């Protein structure tokens, strides 16, 4: 894809990121950090491509495999931990009603 | 097929944006996380549809990674949440580094392969940022899990060493970018990998354990940017969008936390906070420490009409949150007004205490923030400080030479009586003396916080 288009996407997304996280109550900082950490596991897309389309060198295979493992840990672990944290908030709201 | 993949990436990006937005509100946070998880699933499935993919190793990797991630996430106790976020963050950084490396390897192993200048630069950045994120997060993990000393580690010439490494990285980077295929560049590339990893360690060890929340937030931002760089390596929009969303939101979150501690980010990163100033300036403590037995504490609490609990990391360590809630309920039944005052940076992560108290089913309306409790604290009969230290250190208000001078604190020393539950007289995580322990109206209740609270609960029940 055209480099300027990629840069354009990048700049817009950065501004969007700044806008999204303003005035978040402090009790949500940890879940938010954990949740955005899970999103940063998006490098799994790169890892899948690295593993699936790797040239058939041993080093390429190893790099791709380890990348997939690491990114998957980030994604699965990140979302599950965030969900566990947030489900506690939910219980409390539920008991309030 | 490629159009379908690209459209799926757009859907995934939208889901990430909505997910992140919803994570910022208490009522929608759970759904927000689920929506962003669905976005991730869409992105993964779409990627698997690329033609010519070899699935053998992907399946192995996905199974191993999911296993490790799921087991770790389900088995981790709520108290160790912060270090696990650091750990997961580190693996994300490492993945970005490997994506960059793998792409470079692909180029080297393809005869007559060419590499445009954009991927060349992006590979360098993915390796650099990913490497720093990985080892930095591992150090943060080790400090939080107390596998290594939480105190800042400083050595002479540290800044010079860091400067040398950065210079070496810049030089390697320039040579490698100018001619990525040359033999020298290959060597320089591997040197870059190693130096990035070393740099991650060196920039994190001088930062004190108490500042780790800020560091994790910053490293989280880096891991987003590393993912973003990986996106430029393979010209992939969803990586760029998600990566920069995390990068930008991480920086905002970091600055919110710095503000809560009244410090600048530069100060957090470069000051070696708490290493040199452990004496808390020249002020020698006057007065004596007055211990109190659980029984005497019970009589005071029994007579109190307003009680404020101030939890800190010690409560997390002792797993005392359920006992604390029970004591709070008994005090309420006894006619006292009970509140829980949570400092924005109490514990090892912002909101850490809120999570624990929520786990123990403390009603939301009993939680008060620092700015709301401080104006009325002089009318509070008893403040019970449970394993908090630096966030209630009056030195931050009174002692200009204290390392934390100027940081907003909960003014527990202004309450009529203040109980401090503590295992010993050891200084807090930041390594600073706390004049609170020597105040006239402070009583120290030594021992494990959970045991002390449980004893108080039993006293109430048997009376």
pLDDT of the residue at A92: 46
Question: For the range B54-59, what are the long-range contacts, defined as Cβ-Cβ under 8 Å and sequence gap of 24 or more?
Answer: B54/A51, B54/A52, B54/A53, B54/A54, B55/A52, B57/A51, B57/A52, B57/A61, B57/A64, B57/A65, B57/A68, B58/A48, B58/A51, B58/A52, B58/A68
Number of domains in chain A: 1
Of A67, A68, A86, the CB nearest to B33: A86
Identify whether A9 is part of a domain. Answer: no
Confirm whether A4 is domain-assigned.
Answer: no
Give the DSSP H or E segment for B297: helix B294-303
Which residues of B are catalytic, by number?
Answer: 390
Within 8 A of A57 by CB-CB distance, chain B residues are 105, 109
Task: Give dist(CA B308, CA B388) in Å, integer.
Answer: 13
- Cβ-in-10-Å burial (0-12, 13-18, 19+) of B329 comes to middle
Q: Inter-chain contact B230–A35, Cβ cutoff 8 Å?
A: no
CB hemisphere CA count around A7 (13 angstroms):
6
Residue B386, phi then psi, degrees to nearest 5: -110, 95
Residue-level pLDDT at B191? 94
Identify the residue with better confidence: A90 or B22: B22
Compute the mean pLDDT over every residue in chain A, rounded to the nearest whole number.
Answer: 84
Q: Read off the pLDDT of each residue in B58-66 and give the average, rounded to a whole number.
A: 95
What mean pLDDT do residues B203-213 have? Answer: 80
Prediction pTM value: 0.81
* B139-153, B241-255, B279-293, B445-459: which is most confident: B241-255
Q: Which of B19, B85, B249 sits opposite A21 (nearest CB)?
A: B249
In a domain, A7, yes or no: no
As a whole number, mean pLDDT of residues B330-350 equals 84
Q: Are A15 and B248 in contact (CB under 8 A)?
A: yes
Q: What are phi and psi of B273, to 5 degrees?
A: -50, 130
pLDDT average, residue stretch B138-155:
82
B344 Rama class: left (phi>0) / alpha (psi -120 to 50) / beta: alpha
Q: How far apart are CA B98 and CA A46, in angstroms?
A: 9
Q: Is residue A15 part of a domain?
A: no
Closest CA in chain A for residue B344 = A26
Report d(CA A87, CA B450) in Å as an integer: 24
pLDDT computed for residue B201 by the predictor: 93
What average pLDDT score do residues B34-53 get? 94
Cβ neighbours around B67 below 10 Å, total: 14
What does each C-alpha distance from B27 to A88, A93, B259 come to in angstroms?
12, 8, 25
The better pLDDT of the pair B190, A85 is held by B190
**How many Cα atoms are found within 13 Å in the side-chain-facing hemisphere of B266?**
0
- In 3D space, the residue among B94, B132, B56, B103 whose CA is nearest the CA of residue B231 turns out to be B103
Chain segment B411-427, per-residue pLDDT in tens: 988 888 998 888 777 66
Whole-angstrom Cα distance, residue A82 to residue A38?
A: 8
Write the residue in A3, A30, A60 that is nearest to B350 by C-beta: A30
SS (H, E, C) chain A: CCHHHHHHHHHHHHHHHHHHCCCCCHHHHHHHHHHHHHHHHHHHHHHHHHHHCCCCCHHHHHHHHHHHHHHHHHHHHHHHHHHHHHHHHHHHHHHHC
Least Cα distance to B348 among B430, B424, B426, B278 occurs for B430
Residue A58 is assigned to a structural domain of this protein? yes
Q: What is the domain range of residue A89? A: 27-96
State whether A77 and B73 contact (CB < 8 Å): yes
What's the CA gap between A15 and A97, in Å, rounded?
A: 37
Query: Which pairing describes strands B337-342 and B442-446: parallel, antiparallel, or unpaired?
Result: unpaired
Give the pLDDT mean for B127-146: 92
pLDDT in tens, A12-40: 999 999 888 877 777 777 888 889 999 99
- What residues in A contact B24, CB-CB < 8 Å? 20-21, 23-24, 28, 32
In a domain, A18, yes or no: no
Q: How far apart are the first and last CA of chain B?
A: 74
A58-A60-B129 Cα angle (round to 5): 140
Closest CA to B343 of B372, B320, B364, B321: B372
| Count of CA atoms in the C-beta half-sphere (13 A) of B383 | 28
pLDDT at B24 over 50: yes
Percent of chain B with pLDDT over 70: 93
Pick from B98, B217, B256: CB nearest A70:
B98
Whether A6 maps to a domain, the answer reads no
Tell me, what's the pLDDT at B280?
40
B247 close to A (CB below 8 A): yes
Q: For residue B277, name the pLDDT band (cuts at 50, 70, 90).
A: very low
Phi, psi of B420 (to 5 degrees): -115, 115
Asked, for residue A44, whether it belongs to a domain, the answer is yes
Q: C-alpha angle B15/B18/B20, rounded to 5°? A: 105
pLDDT at A55 over 90: no
Q: Which residues of B touch A30 (CB under 8 A)?
A: 81-82, 85, 349-352, 354-355
Q: What is the residue-averaged pLDDT of chain B? A: 86
Q: What is the mean pLDDT of residues B152-178?
A: 87
The residues near B255 (Cβ < 8 Å, ≥ 6 apart) are: B265
Q: What is the pLDDT of residue B444?
A: 87
- Residue B375's CB: how many other CB atoms inside 10 A? 9
Tell whether the model's pLDDT for residue B367 goes beyond 50.
yes
- DSSP for B390-445, please give it: GGG-THHHH-TTSTTTT-----GGGSSEEEEEESSS---TT----GGGGSTTEEEE
In the predicted structure, residue B370 carries a pLDDT above the cut 80: yes
Residue A73 structure tokens: 């840990």
Q: How far apart are CA B23 and CA B36, in angstroms?
A: 9
Taking an 8 Å cut-off on Cβ atoms, the answer to whether A72 and B66 are in contact is yes
Query: What average pLDDT does this structure show over B362-381?
Result: 86
Query: pLDDT-derived band of residue A77, with 50, 70 and 90 as boundaries?
Result: very high
Q: What's the pLDDT tens digit per position in B279-299?
A: 344 444 556 788 888 888 888
- CA–CA dist A43, A67 (Å, integer): 9
Interface residue B60 vs chain A (CB under 8 A) = yes
- pLDDT for A89: 66
Write down the residue that tokens 């101030």 correspond to: B310
pLDDT of residue B245: 94
Average pLDDT over residues B392-403: 80
């Amino acid at each position: 894809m055209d480099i300027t288009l990629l840069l354009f996407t990048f700049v817009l997304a950065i501004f969007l990121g700044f806008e999204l996280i303003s005035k978040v109550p402090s009790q949500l900082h940890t879940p938010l950090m954990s949740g955005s950490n899970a999103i940063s596991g998006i490098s799994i897309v790169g890892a899948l491509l690295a593993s699936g389309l790797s040239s058939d060198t041993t080093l390429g295979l190893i790099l791709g495999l380890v990348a997939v493992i690491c990114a998957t840990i980030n994604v699965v672990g990140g979302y599950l931990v965030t969900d566990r944290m947030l489900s506690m908030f939910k219980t409390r709201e539920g008991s309030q009603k | 097929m490629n159009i379908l993949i690209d459209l799926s990436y757009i859907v995934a990006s939208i889901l990430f944006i909505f997910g992140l937005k919803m994570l910022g509100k208490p009522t929608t946070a759970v759904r927000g996380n689920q929506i962003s998880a669905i976005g991730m699933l869409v992105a993964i499935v779409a990627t698997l549809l690329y033609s010519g993919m070899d699935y053998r190793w992907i399946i192995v990797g996905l199974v191993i990674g999911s296993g490790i991630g799921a087991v770790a996430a389900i088995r981790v106790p709520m108290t160790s949440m912060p270090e696990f976020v650091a750990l997961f963050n580190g693996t994300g950084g490492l993945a970005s580094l490997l994506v960059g490396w793998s792409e470079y390897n692909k180029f080297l192993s393809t005869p007559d392969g060419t590499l445009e200048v954009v991927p060349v630069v992006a590979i360098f950045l993915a390796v650099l940022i990913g490497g720093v994120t990985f080892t930095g997060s591992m150090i943060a993990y080790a400090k939080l899990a107390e596998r290594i000393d939480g105190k800042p580690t400083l050595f002479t010439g540290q800044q010079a060493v860091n400067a040398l490494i950065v210079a070496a990285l810049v030089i390697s980077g320039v040579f490698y970018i100018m001619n990525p295929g040359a033999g020298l560049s290959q060597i320089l590339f591997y040197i870059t990998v190693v130096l990035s990893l070393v740099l991650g360690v060196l920039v994190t060890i001088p930062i004190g354990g108490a500042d780790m929340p800020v560091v994790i937030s910053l490293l989280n931002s880096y891991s987003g940017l590393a993912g973003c760089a990986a996106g430029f390596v393979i010209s992939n929009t969803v990586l760029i969008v998600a990566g920069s969303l995390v990068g930008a939101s991480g920086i905002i979150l970091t600055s919110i936390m710095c503000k809560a501690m009244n410090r600048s980010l530069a100060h957090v990163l470069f000051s070696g906070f708490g290493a040199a100033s452990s004496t808390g300036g020249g002020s020698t403590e006057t007065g004596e420490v007055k211990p109190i037995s659980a029984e005497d504490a019970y009589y005071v609490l029994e007579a109190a009409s307003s009680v404020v609990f101030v939890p800190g990391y010690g409560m997390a360590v002792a797993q005392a949150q359920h006992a604390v809630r029970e004591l709070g309920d008994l005090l309420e039944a006894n006619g006292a007004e009970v509140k829980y005052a949570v400092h924005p940076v109490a514990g090892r992560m912002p909101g850490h205490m809120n999570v624990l108290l929520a786990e123990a089913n403390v009603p939301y309306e009993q939680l008060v923030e620092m700015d709301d409790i401080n104006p009325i604290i002089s009318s509070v009969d008893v403040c019970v400080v449970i394993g908090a230290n630096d966030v209630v250190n009056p030195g931050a208000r009174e002692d200009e030479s204290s390392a934390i001078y100027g940081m907003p604190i909960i003014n527990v020393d202004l309450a009529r009586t203040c109980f401090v539950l503590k295992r010993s007289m050891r200084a807090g995580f930041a390594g600073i003396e706390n004049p609170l322990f020597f105040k006239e109206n402070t009583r120290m209740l030594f021992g494990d916080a959970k045991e002390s609270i449980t004893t108080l609960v039993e006293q109430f029940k048997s009376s």
